[in-house]
Structure formats: structure tokens, C-alpha cells
Chains A and B, each alone.
Chain A
Amino acid sequence: MTDQRTADYVTNIAKRLGAQLVVLRILSEKETETGGEQSLRLFVENGQREKVPVNIILRRGDIASVIIETAQEKSVDLIILGVSRGEVVAEWMNAGAMERTDIPVLLIPKWVRGAGDRRRKSERGPELNLEKAKSPISGMIGSGRVDDDEQGQ
């Protein structure tokens, strides 16, 4: 189950990038589609609240291949991989994923969260020392429209 903080974090990144969010869940053999959809409902609710278009996709298969295929199929601009466990990165690397796609990948370890509230260190107080996230972001794809007006000064 995705926790609220994780969903908030990713939704906020998408909102600030002015992006559509494609959320991919790779189901385990035992997992049902209903259960998979339920686990991502927070993204749908967040998207509605924050006016970020959210597209939920459920797939089965090997992690790296499914992420790459889905990312290419949806023409995403940025793949966001939540790394709660070292094996996700290891699987990504071992699968030669960096050679199979040139879509940029943003890795976010599980302990990074609270992006929506985050201010630069000089601006934020000690009260923003948040506790660690409890559940992983797994295999998410943000369709980030990296706007020209977002860049440069």
C-alpha cells in the first residue's frame, strides 16, 4: 500500500513540473488487479485535488522491462523510480536498462519525502525534520513535461 506521504511527494513533483503523472504498479503473481488499483487510489485522489492528470496502469512482468515498455508506450519524459530496496536499482542495472532506453531516470530513495513542504535548508526550520517514509514508491513513471519556461533564469 502506498502511503500518503509518498503519494503527496510524487504528486507535488508532477504539479511543480507541470506534468501529467503515469503511475505504474507491477503486480506480483499473487496480487489481484483490484488490490493493485486500491493500492494506488491515493494518487487518484491527490491528482483530483491538485489538478494533476493521473493515469493508473497495472502490469505484470519483470520490473525493468515493464517500466521501459510502459514508458516508451506512453512517451514519458521522466521515469521516477522509488528505491525502497537496493534490489530495484540492482535489477535496473543488471537488466542493462540504461542501455535500453534514453528516457532519464530519477531515483528517489525511500527516506526522501515531503517535497511539497520542502524549503531550502536556509529557509526551513528544524520542525521539518520529517520521519522516514514507511512504504516504497515502486516503479512510478512521471510524464514530466519539462517546460522551457521552467528552465533558465
Chain B
Amino acid sequence: MRVEKLLEASAARHPDKVALVTDEARVTYAELNATADRLAGALRRRGVGRGDRVVVMLDNSVETVATLFATLKAGAVFSVMNPTTKGEKLAYVLNNCRAAAVVTQERLLPVVAGAVAQAPSVGATVVAGSAAEPAVRGGVGLHAALDEAPAAPAAPVGGEGIDQDLAMVIYTSGSTGSPKGVMMAHSNILCATRSVAQYLELTPDDVLLCVLPLSFGYGLNQIFTSCLVGGTVVLEKSFAYPAATLQKFERERVTGFALVPTIAAILLMRNLTPGQFPNLRYITNAAAALPPAHIARLREVFPSTRLYSMYGQTECTRTLFLPPDQLDVRPGSIGKAIPNTEAWIVDETGRRVGPGEVGELVVRGGHVMRGYWENPEATERALRPGPTPGERVLHSGDLFRADDEGFLYFVSRKDDIIKTRGEKVSPKEVENVLYDLPGVREAAVIGVPDPILGQAIRAVVVLAEDGCLTDRQIIAHCGRHLEDFMVPRSVEFRAELPKTDSGKIRRTEVQAEALRALEAAAPA
């Protein structure tokens, strides 16, 4: 089965049920499916065929969800970008995956048009909210494209696809600084979707509230699991106005809420009355661990709501979850493998280790990615031979240990990827941008503890002798070239940085120094 069948089956089963609620619209399954069909036709008319890549850069909206399914119906592969992505990175991605089309919105057109100009593969740029012909190669307004497309679904160019075809390529931070495209086949997505829906016990009565961007696997998972069971997703653009979002909990009778620690921190800054949200059946947390104090406070404010701690990564969507009844027994654990998958810990030589020993988590299951797009070296490091012939298992890059009963505990990353606001940031990617700024001689990017962000990004910088940059100038430069979550929150100036004998900056030492300084400054 392919991913678009999730939508088609729900549209056939209960056409009039509300699939999606946004600030602007309420759409039923039949309407969403019809829009996706038309948009698939529009993409095909513009040359998008089986296996082609379509890059999607939109705020959370009905159009975003329709575009994802339309791309799959056209037999193509979607790649969702964070809407704060800047021109250079977008151009890199468009060229890296040789995108055939881009779907975006009017507000983002200046960034997108600049990137498309540098990406010769892009033949069509569909722009939501644009009435006139947008000034970009292959530009067409979304509504104009829908109007001219046939209502009835046409056969995909290049034949009907199967579930072994790629469905999405999601770019994720790599430790080398260049983003890597995680390739997921339809079967990979469906495997993760079914497993998550099973352990969360989702039903058609569920109403999931999603404030996460759909460029994030965890956000996408909300859409796919809801479509699988025929539920409803209340899709928000952000969690910037918690009061407005919380009103929707009551108005839409929300039963499931997916959060990351930053959202929990913002939520818990408010005065919430315990029992205020009786319909809320469960809360999930992923991307990073919740601080124990926040777990306790969430339990207090949501006494009848089950709280799931979860762990995953773009390369397989989801790996572990802790059954809510275990939260009081082992609050620091993120549980065991999700249904129909296996996870274990190995040492440097690949040998499985016993309880208490720290090693790398290995993941086995039908949800494991196909590899990184046109990056065989990185693929070979992450995917290694598994227990059955021809099988490959995912080496997660995360260090874990297990307790005597097999429950798993996250220890740290193997590499120096920083987790901030639930997103992975490669220090190298930020450092590359810093080095582009005249006046910066040396730079090390580190994560420092932050009560809301988990880790906040800090740029530690040595200026050139004639350099006279302020922290604001450095942050502003980063803001012009990086997604918002990658922009340093603070800048520290140093006369020099610790280096290895070969002259390489020792980032881990800079990180350790910063942590020691923070500890020394903290009140006892």
C-alpha cells in the first residue's frame, strides 16, 4: 500500500468527516482528497512524473497537506523544507535532489525565486496565495493551477507506483555541515505510521492538535497517523500564542497533543488549572527529553491525560516509546522499541552490550530509511548489515544504556550535533556561515543549557586583528543565512580557542569550558 491511499481510503470510508482544521478552513476528507487529485493533475501537466522530486516550502496549511498527497498521487517524491530556510540552503537542496517543481506561498517568493534561479532542474513553481503569474521560472498561482487541472485523477506519468518507491526525501543536519536527504519509501512511512497509531491507540474519534512544522518528521507523523484512522488534525502555524491554541483544545475537543520540550516549557509558564482539558486523552513528547520537573508539572495539570515519552529520528521516524504506566517507575527512560521494530545497544566492535553498559542504539524494522540521497558514504556509516541476508539496520548515532528489564536510557549523541527547540543543528553548518563574515578569524559553535530551548546555540568567536564586530552584527549575519532555529542566541568573544596539535579547533573543549563557567556562575 502507498501513503496516498491513507487519504483515499478515509475519503471513501467517511467523506464528510472533517480531516483538517486550520485558522482559515475546515476541510472534509472528500474535499482534501479532491484538492489533492486536482493538484496532482496540475503537477503532472507541468511535467512532474514518477520518482521526480517536488520541494514543498509552506507554512502549515491545508495547501501544505494537499500538496504532500498530490505529489504522491502524481507518483513523485516530496521534500518539505522549513519555511524559514534561506536562499542558499534552498538552492543547495533544489540542486542536490534536482527538484522538478517547487510548491510555496506568496510571502516566501523572494527567497524561493532566488533559489529557483540557481536551480536549472526546476520547471514549475506553484505559489499559494498568488493571483497573478508569479515572477519565477515556471511560476503559476496555486488556484490558477487547480482551475485548469482536470477534476478526475489521471494516470501518473511513468506508470502507477508501488510501495517500494520513494515517498519523501527529508533533509536533516549532517555533522559535515551539508544537509543530508533522508530517503523514505512509502513502505517505510506506512510501517512507522501503523506502529505509532497502534501504541497510541488512535481511533476515528481522535482530534490531534499539531503545532509542529510539517518539515519535521514528528509533525508529518501527526497527519499520516490521523489519515490512517480517519481522525481530525487541528493544524496550527506555531505555538506563538498559547492562549489562542489552548482555546482550540476546548472548542475542537482535542484528544491528542504532540509536543517537544520547548512547547512544554512555554505551556507550563501559564497558569493552568488541573483538569481544565478533560477531553485530552494523551500528550506525546519527542525530539529531546523533558526535564523531570516538567514531567511532574504536566502530570499535575493534566491528571487524566496519558503522557508518552518517545524517541526517534528522521532516519526511521520513531524508535522507542515509554508506556505511560512506566513513567512513575522509571521517569528517565524513553522506553522500549515501538511495535514491529527492534532496538538494541552495541559497542564499538558491533557486539551487543549488557545492562548498564553504554553503546550505540541500533534500530531494525520496516521503517528504517533507504539511505541518504546520493550520499553512499554517509549511508554506509548509518546502514549496516542486519541479522537476515540483505537486510540493513540503522546505527542511530545516539548513545544509550539499558536497565535490567531492557528499558532504554538516552546518554548522549555520538557526534556533536546540538539539539535546540527539538531540532538538530550541525555546529559545522553554523560555523561555515560565521567564517563567511569578514572579521571572524575562528569560530566554534556549541550548545549551552537553556530552560526553554533545551540547548541554546552559542557562537564562540575570535575576531581578526582588524575585526570590530558586535554580537548583534554576528547574530544578524547568521539570521540572514540560516533557518531561525540555527541562529546563535548569544556570542562569546575570545582571544583564542583551544586547538589540537594539528591546529583543529577543539569544539568539545570549548563546550566543556562554557559549561564549567555556567556551573561556577550558578547560585549554589
Chains A and B bind each other: no
Q: Using CB atoms and an 8 Å cutoff, list the residues of chain B in contact with chain A.
A: none
Q: Using CB atoms and an 8 Å cutoff, list the residues of chain A in contact with chain B.
A: none
